[in-house]
Amino acid sequence: MTDGARAATTPGRTPHEAATHCPYCALQCGMLLSERDGRIEVLPRDFPTNRGGLCQKGWTAAELLDHPERLTTPLLRGPDGRLAPATWAEAYARIVTGIRDTQAAHGRDAVAIFGGGGLTNEKAYALGRFARVALRTRMIDYNGRFCMSSAAAAGMRAFGIDRGLPFPLADLGRADTLLLVGANPAETMPPLARYLTEQRERGGRLIVVDPRVTATARLADLHLQPLPGTDLAVANALLHVALTEGWVDREYVAARTEGFDAVRRIAAGWWPARAERLSGVPVADLEEAARALGTARTAIILTARGAEQHAKGVDTVSAFVNLALALGLPGRPGSGYGCLTGQGNGQGGREHGQKADQLPGYRRIDDPAAREHVAAVWGVHPDELPGPGVSAYELLDLLGTPTGPKTLLVFGSNPVVSAPRAARVERRLRDLDLLVVADFLLSETAAIADVVLPTAQWAEEDGTMTNLEGRVLRRRALREPPPGIRTDLRILADLSAALNAPSAPAAEVVAGDPSYPFLPSRGPLQPPDAPADADPRVVFAELRRASAGGAADYAGVTWERIDAADGVFWPCPDTDGPDTPRLFAERFATPSGRARFHPVEHRPAAEEVCAEYPFYLTTGRVLAQYQSGTQTRRVGALRRAAPEPFVELHPDLAARLGVEEGEELRVTSRRGEMRAPARITATIRPDTLFAPFHWGGAGRVNSVTNDALDPVSRMPEFKVCAVRVEKVTP
């Protein structure tokens, strides 16, 4: 076995290989799956993003393909309250009857869809189409609202377009100064850390803004450690220093931007001493960081969840965008502003229609021209398309209420663990007349469902993903799904047919085309009885037509073109024209072609500490786990590396509370409580606690987190809330 590779047993299968991508984060590392003698190996592949590297999650990804807990048959909840095996016909009948009864009694919007940022582009597109055409409901959103929505909104209002990185990832390694705000890629995207190492080996400076001394912060030349929720004040102070020291690129500002004067006036009031009083970041460190950015030949500013998951996340990101624009970074070779997308298809998943307010191609659903274009592709009248719905948390909080949805279909998400104020969300899910979950493992959400549908995994279906650079990639199938399991596309196509939904004009697939998705020596990927809408190639061809002319234009992206290169960067409107690895070289995607400054003022967190709840709580990831943990908690090596939740606290706070390492703590907020062992560490501020969000049950930190929403993005305030902490008496 190749060094670091892991194997899974699959008896009786023919040896073959598939060049594909890791099923986890938005780095989408290239890997090779090799199946020989009933064993599946994960082998490294030299791909531009990971250059042959993989993290522990990637190396062990194949272990889930034949996991003993894998779902292999539909499950229905019976009169006794238990889930029991059923046939697909029985499951579909329960779903279709439930949908029809719900909509007949309560209207079309009484049926809702909740999607995921890990779904392929084809599945995200099909889910949006299913909601708008088959169900004609406006109630659809997805868990990416919890991940990237604040950066997306800030990017749209500044640049007119939302692409996480508007330049290739390799630019990071060549930047003279790199500022990471609320990002910990050394643990969340370990192969990306080699770019940080390369950057420093070239003599560059790495600056990290984070309340914790993370693995990434330990790599930094300078670490700014602000109070949670004060990043915006830090950004305005950095811009203040740049203004006073003359580092603003006034020629760039005059030629390529608009709205600077209003931002300049606000920044003038954010002298470093004022920011220090709010954030705790010393004046000297603020001045040093501003100097490193302002005097660098090339500089890049990146934000991530730490800056974005706040009730003012859009304004916080906008403050760092303002700083980047004032320094003349976006569109300049080797410089720029970007955002580190988190989920595997966090970029593509929000472009093609599973957000409440969007149609494919990043079109607005309330734009008459967009509705007309997409309706023509779908073969319906524009007036038949519903309007915008509500955001993810708002949708979840409406479930089962007198005015909210009574039926919910969930694809690729586990909101019982991942949603804020999770205990309340769980109650809402239990109040539904019908909850349907499609998954390949029994997640905490699937465990309370009325119908559970077993779905294919990443190595069992073809499709495309769009990584954090806006690079469209090919996910290739190694094998067919095991008997009794269907793909998400097949499930949506079957349900559409059962609901008598109109079919879109079928995409033309030329017989004998060598690029048609075949498995080695086994013929077409789809079974002969599968409807055309279940074929990912057909769906992608339709997606291309639907996205044509939109901000996220995939019209010129074909599977053949992806295969001939290391992916294709959108926008790419013409099959014979170039793609766009770098945006903003000549103009921005705004009506004027200029980037737009937005004046933003610091404001406190939605919930501040008080006598009853005297400490701040922040949340995040750990290296060996991912998202809600449904997958990674079932992999032996990962479970051994990170076996349980924990609560980090500073030694000074531990001494005040009389807490020792490993003692069970209760963390309580106004919304609920969690319990987990204490982890005492000097890497966190004395006034702040940290807990990872990968576990359910008593260790579910999202029972505590705040559901306050950003007014623009509707992002919940995961990253800061007020809590108290105490030992659990044995």
pLDDT confidence bin for 533, thresholds 50/70/90: confident
Q: What is the pLDDT of residue 505?
A: 57
172 shares a domain with 54: no
Two structure tokens written together for 496: 């559409």
Q: What's 43's domain CATH number?
A: 2.20.25.90
Question: Can you tell me which residue has the tokens 């939740």?
Answer: 645
Residues in CB range of 276: below 8 A, 6 or more apart: 282, 283, 286
Q: Is residue 583 part of a domain?
A: no
Of 569, 594, 626, the position where a domain reaches its end is 569
Residues in CB range of 612: below 8 A, 6 or more apart: 724
Which residue in 141, 147, 151, 606 sits closest to 393, CA to CA?
141
User: Is residue 493 pLDDT above 50, yes or no?
Assistant: yes
Per-residue pLDDT tens for 132-175?
999 999 999 999 999 889 999 999 999 999 999 999 999 999 99
Distance CA 564, CA 573 (A): 17
174 shares a domain with 40: no
629 shares a domain with 523: no
Signed CA dihedral, 436, 536, 54, 172: sign only: negative
Q: What is the pLDDT of residue 188?
A: 93
Backbone phi, then psi, for 465, in 5-degree steps?
Answer: -130, 155
Of 290, 310, 340, the position where a domain reaches its end is 340
User: Is residue 638 pLDDT above 80, yes or no?
Assistant: yes
Q: Is residue 263 part of a domain?
A: yes
Mean pLDDT for all residues in the chain: 93
SS (H, E, C) 31-51: EEEEEECCEEEEEECCCCCCC
- For residues 410-427, give the mean pLDDT: 97
311 shares a domain with 392: no
Two structure tokens written together for 315: 């304004």
714 shares a domain with 656: yes
- For residues 319-343, give the mean pLDDT: 96
pLDDT confidence bin for 531, thresholds 50/70/90: confident
Give helix 231-245 / helix 272-279 axis angle, nearest 10°: 160
505: burial class by Cβ within 10 Å (0-12, 13-18, 19+)? Answer: exposed
User: Is residue 10 pLDDT above 50, yes or no?
Assistant: no
- For residues 643-669, give the mean pLDDT: 97
Q: What is the pLDDT of residue 148?
A: 86
User: Is residue 13 pLDDT above 60, yes or no?
Assistant: no
pLDDT confidence bin for 103, thresholds 50/70/90: very high
Which residue in 469, 711, 589 sits closest to 157, CA to CA?
589
User: Is residue 5 pLDDT above 60, yes or no?
Assistant: no
Per-residue pLDDT tens for 580-616?
999 999 999 999 999 999 999 999 999 999 999 999 9
Q: Is residue 593 part of a domain?
A: no
Q: What is the pLDDT of residue 106?
A: 98
Q: What is the pLDDT of residue 523?
A: 41
CB distance 489 to 527 below 8 Å: no
Beta strand pairing status for 39-44 and 673-680?
unpaired
User: Is residue 524 pLDDT above 80, yes or no?
Assistant: no
User: Is residue 344 pLDDT above 80, yes or no?
Assistant: yes
CB distance 249 to 326 below 8 Å: yes
Two structure tokens written together for 419: 């949603």
Signed CA dihedral, 706, 707, 713, 718: sign only: positive
375 shares a domain with 244: no
Q: Name the CA dihedral angle for 513, 515, 516, 518, rounded to a multiple of 10 degrees.
A: 120
Q: Mean pLDDT lowest for which of 38-52, 518-532, 676-690?
A: 518-532
Residues in CB range of 115: below 8 A, 6 or more apart: 124, 127, 140, 141, 142, 143, 349, 354, 411, 412, 413
User: Is residue 245 pLDDT above 70, yes or no?
Assistant: yes
Q: Is residue 208 part of a domain?
A: yes
- For residues 311-315, give the mean pLDDT: 97
408 shares a domain with 357: yes
CB distance 422 to 174 below 8 Å: no
User: Is residue 510 pLDDT above 90, yes or no?
Assistant: no
- For residues 671-688, give the mean pLDDT: 97
Signed CA dihedral, 151, 154, 159, 161: sign only: positive
Q: Which residues form the domain of 224?
A: 149-340
Q: What is the pLDDT of residue 529?
A: 64
Q: What is the pLDDT of residue 530?
A: 67
Q: Residue 266 carries which side chain, given as an amino acid letter? A: I
377 shares a domain with 232: no
Backbone phi, then psi, for 266, in 5-degree steps?
Answer: -70, -45
Which residue in 163, 200, 156, 194 sits closest to 178, CA to CA?
200
509 shares a domain with 458: yes
pLDDT confidence bin for 527, thresholds 50/70/90: low
Q: What's 642's domain CATH number?
A: 2.40.40.20
Q: What is the pLDDT of residue 79?
A: 95
Q: Is residue 601 part of a domain?
A: no
Strand order in the sheet with 568-569: 463-466, 471-475, 568-569
pLDDT confidence bin for 38, thresholds 50/70/90: confident
Residues in CB range of 675: below 8 A, 6 or more apart: 664, 665, 666, 667, 698, 699, 728
Q: What is the pLDDT of residue 515?
A: 42
User: Is residue 704 pLDDT above 70, yes or no?
Assistant: yes
Of 546, 569, 592, the position where a domain reaches its end is 569
For the chain, the domain total comes to: 4
421 shares a domain with 285: no
SS (H, E, C) 356-424: CCEECCCEECCCHHHHHHHHHHHCCCHHHCCCCCCCHHHHHHHCCCCCCCCEEEEECCCHHHHCCCHHH
Q: Which region holds residue 670: left if phi is over 0, alpha if psi is between -120 and 50, else beta?
A: alpha
CB distance 337 to 329 below 8 Å: yes
User: Is residue 8 pLDDT above 90, yes or no?
Assistant: no
User: Is residue 519 pLDDT above 50, yes or no?
Assistant: no
Which residue in 621, 547, 509, 559 sits closest to 184, CA to CA?
621
439 shares a domain with 532: yes
Which residue in 37, 80, 82, 42 sits closest to 61, CA to CA?
42
Signed CA dihedral, 424, 630, 627, 393: sign only: negative
CB atoms within 10 A of CB 493: 25
pLDDT confidence bin for 276, thresholds 50/70/90: very high
CB distance 709 to 394 below 8 Å: yes
Two structure tokens written together for 79: 């009169």
Q: What is the pLDDT of residue 502?
A: 80
Distance CA 689, CA 212 (A): 10
Q: Mean pLDDT lowest for which of 149-163, 394-408, 439-453, 511-525?
A: 511-525
Q: What's 391's domain CATH number?
A: 3.40.50.740
User: Is residue 711 pLDDT above 60, yes or no?
Assistant: yes
Predicted TM-score (pTM) of this structure? 0.94
Per-residue pLDDT tens for 189-242?
999 999 999 999 999 999 999 999 999 999 999 999 999 999 999 999 999 999
Q: What is the pLDDT of residue 37?
A: 82
User: Is residue 270 pLDDT above 90, yes or no?
Assistant: yes
Percent of the chain's residues with pLDDT above 70: 94
186 shares a domain with 222: yes
For residue 701, the 8-state DSSP code is: G
Residues in CB range of 480: below 8 A, 6 or more apart: 460, 519, 522, 525
